[in-house]
Structure 1
Amino acid sequence: MKAPNVTKNRFSGLSYKLIATIIGVILLVEIVIYFPSLASFRTTWLQDRLRVGVVAARVLDAVPDVLALPRNLTDRLLGSAGADAIVYRREGQSQLIERTEPVMPERVVTADLRQTDLGSQVMGALDTLFAGPGRTLRIVGEGDNDEALVELLMPENPLRRDMIDYSRGIILVSFGIAAVTAFVLYMLVSTLFLDPILRVTNNMLRFRKAPENGSLILSPSTRRDEIGILERELSAMEQDLFSMLRQRRHLADLGLAVAKINHDLRNTLTSAQLLSDQVATLDDPKVQRLAPRLVTTLDKAIGFAQSVLDFGREATAPPKFAPVMLHELVEDAALDARAAGNPMLDWKNGVPEELELEADPSQLGRVFVNLMKNAREALEAYSREGFQGRIAVEAQTSDAEVIISVIDNGPGLPPRARDNLFVAFEGSARSGGTGLGLAIAREITEAHGGALALGESDVGTRFDITLPLHRPQL
Structure 2
Amino acid sequence: MALIGKMVAPFRSLSARLLILTLLFVMLAEVLIFVPSVAFFRLNYLVKKTEFAHLATLSLLASPDNMVSDELREELLFRVGARSVVLHGANSRLLILNEKMPHSIDAEFNLADQNPALLIEHAIMSLMVGPDRIIRIISPIENEPNSSLEVVIDEAPLIDAMYDYAWNIFWLSLIISTLTAVLVYLALHWLMVRPMRRLSESMIAFRRAPEDVSTALVPSRRRDEIGVAERELEIMQTRLRSALTQKQHLVALGIAVTKISHDLRNILSTSQIVSDSLSEIKDPKVQKVVPRLMTSIDRAIDLCTQTLKYGRADEREPKKERFLLEPLVNEVKTSVGLRENNGITWQNRIPAGLMLNADRDQFYRILLNLTRNAVQAMEGEGTIEIHAMRAGTRTLIRICDSGPGLPVKAKEHLFEPFSGSARAEGTGLGLSISRELIVAHGGRITLERTGASGTVFCIEMPD
TM-score (norm 1): 0.79
CA pair 12-415 structure 1, distance change in 2 beyond 3 A: closer
Secondary structure of the 1:104 match is: coil
In the other structure, the counterpart of 1:243 is 242
Looking at structure 2, the residues matched to 10 and 422 of structure 1 have their Cα atoms a distance apart, in angstroms, of: 51
Distance 1:281 1:258 in 2: 34
Query: Given that residues 346 and 390 in structure 1 are in contact (C-alpha distance below 8 angstroms), is that contact kept between their aligned partners in structure 2?
Result: yes
- TM superposition shift of 1:306: 0.8
1:334 maps to 2:333: no
> Which of the residues 429, 449, 454 maps onto 1:436?
429
Give the residue type in structure 2 aligned to 1:239. T
Task: Find the counterpart in structure 2 of residue 114 from structure 1.
Answer: 112
Is the deviation greater in 116-125 or in 55-64?
Answer: 55-64
Aligned to 1:393: 387
Q: Helix, strand or coil for the counterpart of 2:106? A: strand
- Separation in structure 2 between the aligned mates of residue 77 and residue 417 of structure 1, nearest angstrom: 106
Q: Which amino acid letter does the alignment assign opposite residue 260 of structure 1?
A: K
Q: 1:139 to 1:355 in 2, by over 3 A?
A: farther
Tell me the percent identity: 31
How far apart, CA to CA, are the structure 2 residues paired with 1:177 and 1:157?
30
Report SS of the residue matched to 2:306: helix
The answer (yes or no) to whether the contact 2:348–2:385 under 8 Å persists in 1 is yes
The aligned runs of 1:309-328 (5 Å cut-off) are 309-314=308-313
Work out the CA distance in 2 between the residues paired with 1:450 and 1:115.
80
Corresponding residue of 1:348: 348
What does the per-residue CA deviation read over 1:419-458, in whole Å, with 9 as the maximum and x for residues that have no partner?
A: 6764534555679654321233345567857452162577
Distance 2:458 2:314 in 1: 21
Correspondence for 1:254? 253
Counterpart-to-counterpart distance in 2, 1:36 and 1:210:
59
Measured after TM superposition, the shift of residue 119 of structure 1 is 2.9
Q: What is aligned with 1:163?
A: 162
Tell me if the contact between 2:135 and 2:152 (Cα under 8 Å) persists in the aligned partners: yes
User: Per the alignment, do residues 71 and 271 of structure 1 end up closer, same or farther by CA in structure 2, a change over 3 Å counting?
Assistant: same
Q: Which residue of 2 aligns with 1:50?
A: 50
**SS of corresponding position for 1:463:** strand
For 1:80, the equivalent position in structure 2 comes to 79
- Give the 3-state SS of the residue equivalent to 1:69 in structure 2: coil
CA distance in 1, matches of 2:129, 2:318: 76
Which residue in the other structure is 2:276 paired with? Answer: 277
CA change 1:288–1:277 in 2 (3 A) is same
Q: Provide the secondary structure at the position in 2 that maps to 1:163.
A: helix
CA RMSD of aligned residues (A): 4.1
What is the one-letter code of the residue matched to 1:241? Answer: L
Task: Indicate conservation of the 8 Å contact 2:255/2:311, yes or no.
Answer: no
Deviation at 1:407, TM superposition (A): 2.0
Task: Report the alpha carbon displacement of residue 348 of structure 1 after superposing the two structures with TM.
Answer: 2.3
- Which residue of 1 is the match for residue 40 of structure 2? 40
Change (3 A) 1:84 1:238: same
Which digits, 9 at most, give the CA deviation of each residue in 1:261-311, with x for residues without a partner?
A: 211221222123223323433456665555444433322221111121122
Q: Distance in 2 between matches of 1:449 and 1:165?
A: 81
Distance in 2, matches of 1:464 and 1:255, equals 28
Q: Give the whole-Å Cα distance in 1 for the aligned partners of 2:163 and 2:229.
A: 52
Contact 2:419 2:428 in 1 (8 A): yes
Q: In the alignment, residue 185 of structure 1 is paired with which amino acid? A: V
Any unmatched runs of 5+ in structure 2?
1-7
Q: What is aligned with 2:398?
A: 405
**In the aligned structure 2, how far is the partner of 1:228 from the partner of 1:316?**
47
Aligned partners of 2:407 and 2:422 also within 8 Å: no
The DSSP-based 3-state class of the residue aligned with 1:337 is helix
Corresponding residue of 2:447: 453
Q: SS state of the match for residue 116, structure 1?
A: coil
Offset of 1:21 from its aligned partner? 3.5
Distance in 1 separating the partners of 2:71 and 2:43: 29
Q: Where in structure 2 are the equivalents of 1:4-403 lying within 5 Å? A: 13-63=13-63, 69-90=68-89, 91-100=91-100, 102-105=101-104, 108-143=106-141, 145-282=144-281, 288=287, 290-314=289-313, 330-331=325-326, 333-335=328-330, 337-338=332-333, 344=340, 346-350=346-350, 366-375=365-374, 382=380, 390-395=384-389, 397=391
Distance in 2, matches of 1:320 and 1:92, equals: 111
Letter in 1 for 2:386: A
TM superposition shift of 1:25: 3.2
Offset at residue 180 of structure 1 (A): 0.8
How many aligned residue pairs are there? 448
Relative to structure 1, the CA distance from residue 400 to residue 59 in structure 2 (aligned partners, 3 Å threshold; closer, same or farther) is farther
Deviations 1:325-367 (A, max 9, x none): 8xx56436525524699995654234696799x9998876654
Deviation at 1:467, TM superposition (A): 4.2
1:146, 1:414 → 2: CA distance? Answer: 100
Q: CA deviation at 1:142?
A: 3.0
Which blocks of at least 5 consecutive residues in structure 1 are unaligned? 1-7
Distance 2:25 2:97 in 1: 50
* TM-score, with structure 2 as normaliser: 0.80
SS in 2 for 1:74: helix
Q: What letter is aligned with 2:449?
A: G
**Distance across 1 between alignment mates of 2:259 and 2:312:** 13
Match of 1:3 in 2: none
Which moved further from structure 2: 430-439 or 128-137?
430-439
